[in-house]
Amino acid sequence: MTEIPDWQVEHRGRRPRRPPRARPPSDYLTRRELLDLVPLSMSSIDSLEKRGLFPARFRLNPINRVVWKRREVVKFIEQRARPRP
């Protein structure tokens, strides 16, 4: 009788799931989170960033993801908000 490998027993013959992707700490925004927060398109953000008017992105290691500092993005939004009467 052949022995069934552990991974087949655990997953009932299905392929095991990949481990979840590493997420950056909540102090940082991923591209998806940035687009949910800022009412601009990615091309507009790119343009503003190149002109130095939007917070710069950077690569977060060791997870190798591009992120923005949440604090800087919120400050950008607050500065651009219209004053309320």
Mean pLDDT, the chain, rounded, equals 83
- Quick one: pLDDT at residue 64? 82
- Quick one: pLDDT at residue 26? 85
Q: Kindly tell me if the per-residue pLDDT of 20 is higher than 70.
A: no
Residue 8: pLDDT band with limits 50, 70, 90: low
CB 72 within 8 A of CB 33: no
Minimal CA–CA distance to 74: which of 25, 38, 35, 42?
38
Find the farthest-apart pair of alpha carbons in the chain and give their distance in angstroms, rounded: 81
**What are the tens digits of pLDDT across the range 29-48?**
999 999 999 999 999 999 99
- The whole-number average pLDDT for the span 64-83 is 90
Q: Kindly tell me if the per-residue pLDDT of 13 is higher than 70.
A: no
Looking up tokens 């908000």, which residue turns up? 81
- Quick one: pLDDT at residue 4? 58
Domain segments of the chain as ranges: 25-80
